[in-house]
Amino acid sequence: METTLGQNLGDTHHDHGPASGIGRWLFTTNHKDIGTLYLWFSLLMFLTGGTMALLIRAELFQPGLQLVQPEFFNQMTTMHGLIMVFGAVMPAFVGLANWLVPMMIGAPDMALPRMNNWSFWILPFAFAMMISTLFMEGGAPNFGWTFYAPLSTTYAPPSVTFFIFAVHMMGISSIMGAINVIATILNLRAPGMTMMKLPLFVWSWLITAFLLIAVMPVLAGVVTMMLMDIHFGTSFFNAAGGGDPVLFQHVFWFFGHPEVYIMILPAFGIISEIIPTFARKRLFGYASMVYAIASIAILSFLVWAHHMFTVGLPLAGELFFMFATMLIAVPTGVKVFNWVATMFRGSLTFETPMLFALAFVVLFTIGGFSGLMLAIAPADFQYHDTYFVVAHFHYVLVPGAIFSIMAATYFWLPKWTGHMINERMGKIHFWLSFVGVNITFFPMHFVGLAGMPRRIPDYALQFADFNSVASVGAFIFGFSQLLFLYNVIACIRGGARATDRVWEGAHGLEWTLPSPAPYHSFSQPPVVK
Amino acid sequence: MDELGRKNRRLVIRLLAGCVLMFGFGFALVPLYDVFCRVTGLNGKVTNTGPVAIEDADISRSVRVQFLGVNNEGMPWEFRPLDESVRVHPGEMRQIAFFARNPTSRRMIAQAIPSVAPAEAAQYLHKVNCFCFDSQSLASQEQVEMPVLFVIDKKLPEHIHTLTLSYTLFDITPEAPDGQALASETRRSPL
């Protein structure tokens, strides 16, 4: 994409930098500041949720009960899932969108900067409230991140009400973030930046934002129904009053399945930016990538009951949801094909972001294939609620979503800080993470197929070896993330100066800005040819 | 407010309307789900109730109907069918009864929720009268025999030889201040 800047960036006499002190962060409406806040918050949540994961893996290192009580174990699985989904992955993508979308489309800021500030600052309060339940009488929510009724209503600890309001707040935050992204992309594109010239990260976020607007209100609805069942005597999910617990699962997964694509579509966008850069070729099949993302998003509304094959669906329902689910493999396959075709005969180099992107392609595909196995309704009766499911969704979320976020961080960090990352440290972080992830999650396929149930603090003796291997891997992966923290801080504090373009093969408006990107960029829109 | 401000405003209003719509849709799923189950007969919900035209029974075949009485968690009543199963001809009207006894020291109100297995057979089980149409109020130590009058539709598919009618009994005693429930609060069940 050839661009010219319509403005001499040095000539900013009316420009003002950030305010000083804590007020800069509390009252900021600058998309770069808010992006930074989101990213730091998500890293904090990632380490918090990761600590909980390590507690889980430490307990599962050996059969029998060693470290924690089963009640606390349940709270850990629940909080780990909630924090990672709503606190780590989603805010990280919103943070990346804040930083990158305006710079990629030549906009001076997000379209609704004050709302942007608000949507971030809700989050710390939501999570403070949710995490505070750990210290309440009766303990934190213990019903799993899917909070199936009646576990989350009739049998829930009293802290469930705090959980419900925390989810409401996260939902409001996500919806406001999504509205902002859509308004920015639709209304603030630089002249000449037509829709089919948008970078794929922007496209993937536009579609994700529409998914968020469609399903976060449904999540708000389902927790509101829980709230009314618990406190106001309604019977949405209570059979004694004419309700139905299975209804909960339908409404939840109507939200839940698009939600899992909310956590992976921006990752597709990131990978589609990184691979062409380090293959030094244009992305293969740009238009088909856009259509693939859109069709995945549409299909995501038609497959929710594949999470519920064992609740007693009629045969016609099982078949419909089985085939609709398998259909998603087609656009996903198109994407993987395009990434591979982009690399084909490219001049590949393997800097840290590219390593993470390559690992994403391979490991996400493995997770996709185990997803196809789970989509087979008759087979799912065997796999349902086993560690095979745990292995599947961790393969798509950890080396999928999380690796893409790390790839994005290493890729754009020089643009944000003005310093190159330390490649050697980046590579050490990558290899430890890559090896750790596979040691952790690959054995879970085996114990799952052999029948080990998920969310149970103890297990039968025959699963002991693979579980101890998985726990060792988890500690390798977990502690190697401290290297990530180190790398980010080191890159902020210093390092080789980054050029404006940073990477030899980089294309896109953000690379025409100086490194580090000035506090206010594209005050005059660039002209995109 | 310039052109861009107006465009942003219009878009935000539309997107917020979308959110409100989807929030409503979440709640609309509740009746939609009921209607869907009713229309398709899924979920084993019995929907054919009330009077039925008397027809000749199809004596060329007979179907076994099994009965189950289950207490919901925390429900202390004794609750079971008097006969565990009966054989009926499709089209033949038959009455059976369930036994219930309140062993506690207070008056309680219960509601039975029926379910039919296999779900495919639910739409062919026609209940002319059933204790599950109303809630049941029993004084301390009181016991009762509760009738079910039903007909199996002659259109029942040939491959179904056995069907199960199961009731789960729920405690719906209102939380009266003195722990005593009022018998007059007997409610009509939604079924």
B26 with B57, same domain: the answer is no
B11 with B56, same domain: the answer is no
How confident is residue B56, by pLDDT bands cut at 50, 70 and 90?
A: confident
Q: What is the pLDDT of residue A475?
A: 97
Asked if B30 and A241 come within 8 Å (Cβ–Cβ), the reply is: no
By CA distance, what is A237's nearest residue in B? B30
B69 with B99, same domain: the answer is yes
Q: Which residue among B4, B72, B190 sits closest to A187, beta carbon to beta carbon?
A: B4
Residue B2 pLDDT > 90, yes or no? Answer: no
Burial of A8-20, coded b for 16+ CB within 10 Å and e otherwise, reads ebeeeeeeeeeee
Can A11 be counted among the known catalytic residues? no
Residue A243 pLDDT > 60, yes or no? Answer: yes
Can A332 be counted among the known catalytic residues? yes
Burial of B128-153, coded b for 16+ CB within 10 Å and e otherwise, reads bebbbeebbbbeeeeeeebebebbbb
What whole-number distance in Å separates Cα of residue A337 and Cα of residue A272? 12
B156 with B179, same domain: the answer is yes
Across the range A268-279, mean pLDDT stands at 97
Q: What is the CATH number that goes with domain A33-528?
A: 1.20.210.10
What whole-number distance in Å separates Cα of residue A269 and Cα of residue A515? 22
Q: Which residue among A111, A182, A218 sits closest to B22, beta carbon to beta carbon?
A: A218
Q: What is the pLDDT of residue B182?
A: 45
Q: Supply the DSSP symbol for B85.
A: E
How confident is residue A9, by pLDDT bands cut at 50, 70 and 90?
A: very low
B172–chain A Cβ distance below 8 A for any pair: yes
Task: Give the count of alpha carbons within 13 A of A198, CB side only.
Answer: 25
Asked if A240 and B42 come within 8 Å (Cβ–Cβ), the reply is: no
**Omega of the bond prior to A150 within 30 degrees of 0, cis?**
yes
How confident is residue B47, by pLDDT bands cut at 50, 70 and 90?
A: low
Residues of A in contact with B26 (CB under 8 A): 217-222, 225, 251, 254-255
Residue A352 pLDDT > 60, yes or no? Answer: yes
Residues of B in contact with A317 (CB under 8 A): 42
Of A194-203, A219-228, A445-454, B43-52, the one with minimum mean pLDDT is B43-52
Can A114 be counted among the known catalytic residues? no
Q: What is the pLDDT of residue B43?
A: 61
Across the range A108-136, mean pLDDT stands at 96
Kindly report, residue by residue over B168-179, the tens digit of the pLDDT: 888 888 754 444
B113–chain A Cβ distance below 8 A for any pair: yes
The distance of B90 to chain A (nearest Cα, Å) reads 24
B123 with B54, same domain: the answer is yes
What whole-number distance in Å separates Cα of residue A9 and Cα of residue A514? 9
B81 with B158, same domain: the answer is yes
Residue with tokens 């290192």: A61
B177 with B91, same domain: the answer is yes
Q: What is the pLDDT of residue A218?
A: 97
Sequence spans of domains, chain A: 33-528
How confident is residue B41, by pLDDT bands cut at 50, 70 and 90?
A: low
Residues 205-264 of A with CB under 8 A from B: 213-222, 225, 236, 239-242, 244, 246-247, 250-251, 254-255
Can A282 be counted among the known catalytic residues? no
- Percent of chain B whose predicted confidence (pLDDT) is above 90: 34
Of A46-55, A415-424, B24-33, the one with minimum mean pLDDT is B24-33
Q: Supply the DSSP symbol for B69.
A: E
Tokens of A189: 């594109």
How confident is residue A14, by pLDDT bands cut at 50, 70 and 90?
A: low
Asked if B27 and A214 come within 8 Å (Cβ–Cβ), the reply is: no
Q: What is the pLDDT of residue A208?
A: 97
**Residue A377, helix vs strand vs coil:** helix
Can A520 be counted among the known catalytic residues? no
Please tell me which residue in A189, A306, A415, A445 is annotated as part of the active site: A306
Residue B27 pLDDT > 70, yes or no? Answer: yes
Q: What is the pLDDT of residue A441?
A: 97
Contact, A227 vs A54, CB < 8 A?
A: no
Asked if A186 and B11 come within 8 Å (Cβ–Cβ), the reply is: yes
pTM for the full model? 0.87
Q: Which residue among A188, A213, A215 sits closest to B15, beta carbon to beta carbon?
A: A213
What's A81-95 look like in SS3?
HHHHHHHHHHHHHHH
What whole-number distance in Å separates Cα of residue A460 and Cα of residue A458? 7
Q: Kindly provide the residue ranges of all beta strands, DSSP E only, lying in B25-161, ordered along the sequence.
A: 63-71, 78-81, 85-88, 93-101, 108-117, 125-130, 136-138, 143-152
The distance of B89 to chain A (nearest Cα, Å) reads 26
B18 with B57, same domain: the answer is no
Can A335 be counted among the known catalytic residues? yes
Between A and B, how many CB-CB pairs are < 8 A? 90
Number of domains in chain B: 2
Kindly report, residue by residue over B77-136, the tens digit of the pLDDT: 999 999 899 999 988 888 999 999 999 998 999 888 888 888 778 878 888 888 888 888
Q: Which residue among B18, B29, B171 sits closest to A251, beta carbon to beta carbon?
A: B29
Mutate to test the interface with B, among A105, A244, A313 (most CBs of B within 10 A): A244
The one-letter code for the residue type at A67 is L
β-pair partners for B97: B147
B49 with B36, same domain: the answer is no
Residue B127 domain boundaries: 44-185
Domain-located, residue B34:
yes
Across the range A384-388, mean pLDDT stands at 96
B1–chain A Cβ distance below 8 A for any pair: no
Task: Give the count of alpha carbons within 13 A of A375, CB side only.
Answer: 19
Domain-located, residue B191:
no
Domain-located, residue B151:
yes
- Percent of chain A whose predicted confidence (pLDDT) is above 90: 91
Centre a 10 Å sphere on the Cβ of residue A512 and count the other Cβ atoms it contains: 21
Mean pLDDT for chain A overall: 94
Report the run of H or E that residue A145 belongs to, with start and end. Answer: none
B12 with B98, same domain: the answer is no
B134–chain A Cβ distance below 8 A for any pair: no
Residues of A in contact with B41 (CB under 8 A): none
B33 with B50, same domain: the answer is no
Give the angle subtended at the CA of A202 by the CAs of A107 and A425, to the nearest 5°.
100
Across the range A285-305, mean pLDDT stands at 96
Of A23-37, A152-166, B68-82, the one with minimum mean pLDDT is B68-82
Residues 115-174 of A with CB under 8 A from B: none
Of A427-431, A524-528, B8-12, B177-181, the one with minimum mean pLDDT is B177-181
By CA distance, what is A188's nearest residue in B? B4
Short-list B182, B102, B89, B94, CA closest to B140: B102
**Cα-flanking dihedrals φ and ψ of residue B188, to 5°?**
-80, 130
Mutate to test the interface with A, among B2, B22, B113 (most CBs of A within 10 A): B22
A186–chain B Cβ distance below 8 A for any pair: yes
B63 with B29, same domain: the answer is no
CATH of the domain at B124: 2.60.370.10
Burial class (CB in 10 A: 0-12, 13-18, 19+), A23: exposed
What whole-number distance in Å separates Cα of residue B169 and Cα of residue B132? 9
Q: Which residue among A213, A214, A247 sits closest to B30, beta carbon to beta carbon?
A: A247
Residues of A in contact with B25 (CB under 8 A): 217-218, 221
How confident is residue A98, by pLDDT bands cut at 50, 70 and 90?
A: very high
Q: What is the pLDDT of residue A4?
A: 44
- Please report which residue ranges of A344-461 form alpha helices under DSSP H: 352-375, 377-383, 387-396, 403-417, 423-449
Can A370 be counted among the known catalytic residues? no
Q: Is ipTM beyond 0.90?
A: no
Asked if B12 and A179 come within 8 Å (Cβ–Cβ), the reply is: yes
Can A109 be counted among the known catalytic residues? yes
Q: Between residues A18 and A137, which one has the greater pLDDT?
A: A137
Contact, B114 vs B67, CB < 8 A?
A: no
